[in-house]
C-alpha cells in the first residue's frame, strides 16, 4: 500500500471517529435544535440512550427545618438540607455528595406522598418513604438522639405555590 493511501485511510478513520463522537454528544443535548434531530437519526438505531445531557430543573425547591427539645427548651430551627448543600458546594472533594444524594432522593420519594395543601402532622406518617427520610435527616442533625422531642418542617415551593408540612412528636 502506498504512503499516500495510508495517510488518507488514517485521516478518514480519524475524521469518522471525531464525527461519531460529536454526533453522540450532540444527540444528548437540547431536543429542539436541528443538529440534535440530525444527530438523533444517526445515533437512534445503534446507540440509543434514554438520558439527556441536560436534565430539566427540579419542580420544587425544598427547605427542611428541624428543631429539638432539651430541658424543656426548644432549639432554633435549623435548615439541614440547605446546610448540607452549602457544605457540598463549598468543597466538592469533602465527600458530602453521597449524603446529599441520599437525602435528596429520600425527599423525592416522600414528595409523592405529600398532599398539595399545608398540613400539620401530630404523629409521624406511617409510610416507608417518611421513615427513610426521617432517618436520613436525623443522621445529619445534631443532638437529636438525646432530645426530649423533635419537630420538623418541610417547605416545598416553586414560582406559584408554597406548601408547608409540619411534623410534631417525631421522637
Q: What is the pLDDT of residues 54-79, one digit of tens each?
A: 666 677 888 999 998 889 899 899 88
Tell me the pLDDT tens digit for each residue of 109-120. Answer: 888 888 888 999
Q: 75-108: b or e for each residue (b if 16 or more CB lie within 10 Å)? A: beebbbbeebbeebeeeeeeebeeebebbeebbe
- Distance between CA 24 and CA 35 in Å, rounded? 11
pLDDT (mean) for 121-142:
87
Strands 78-79 and 149-157, sheet pairing: unpaired
| Pair 60, 156: CB distance under 8 Å | yes
Q: What is the Cα 80 distance to its own chain's centre?
A: 15
Q: Does position 11 have pLDDT exceeding 90, yes or no?
A: yes
Domain boundaries, the chain: 3-47, 61-167
Nearest 5°: CA angle at 66, between 136 and 119?
95
- Per-residue model confidence (pLDDT) at position 54: 63
Of residues 123 and 59, more confidence is placed in 123
Q: What is the pTM of this model?
A: 0.64
- Per-residue model confidence (pLDDT) at position 46: 76
Confidence band of 96 (pLDDT split at 50, 70, 90): confident
Amino acid at each position: 500500500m502506498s504512503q499516500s493511501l495510508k495517510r488518507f485511510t488514517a485521516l478518514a478513520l480519524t475524521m469518522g471517529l471525531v464525527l461519531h463522537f460529536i454526533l453522540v454528544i450532540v444527540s444528548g443535548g437540547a431536543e429542539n435544535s436541528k443538529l440534535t434531530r440530525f444527530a438523533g437519526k444517526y445515533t437512534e438505531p445503534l446507540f440509543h440512550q434514554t438520558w439527556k445531557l441536560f436534565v430539566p430543573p427540579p419542580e420544587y425547591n425544598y427547605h427542611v427545618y428541624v428543631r429539638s427539645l432539651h430541658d424543656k427548651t426548644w432549639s432554633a430551627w435549623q435548615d439541614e438540607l440547605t446546610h448540607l448543600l452549602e457544605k457540598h458546594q463549598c468543597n466538592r472533594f469533602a465527600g458530602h455528595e453521597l449524603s446529599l444524594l441520599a437525602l435528596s432522593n429520600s425527599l423525592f420519594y416522600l414528595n409523592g406522598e405529600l398532599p398539595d395543601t399545608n398540613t400539620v402532622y401530630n404523629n409521624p406518617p406511617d409510610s416507608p418513604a417518611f421513615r427513610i427520610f426521617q432517618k436520613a435527616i436525623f443522621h445529619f442533625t445534631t443532638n437529636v438522639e438525646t432530645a426530649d422531642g423533635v419537630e420538623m418542617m418541610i417547605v416545598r415551593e416553586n414560582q406559584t405555590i408554597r406548601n408547608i408540612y409540619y411534623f410534631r412528636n417525631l421522637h
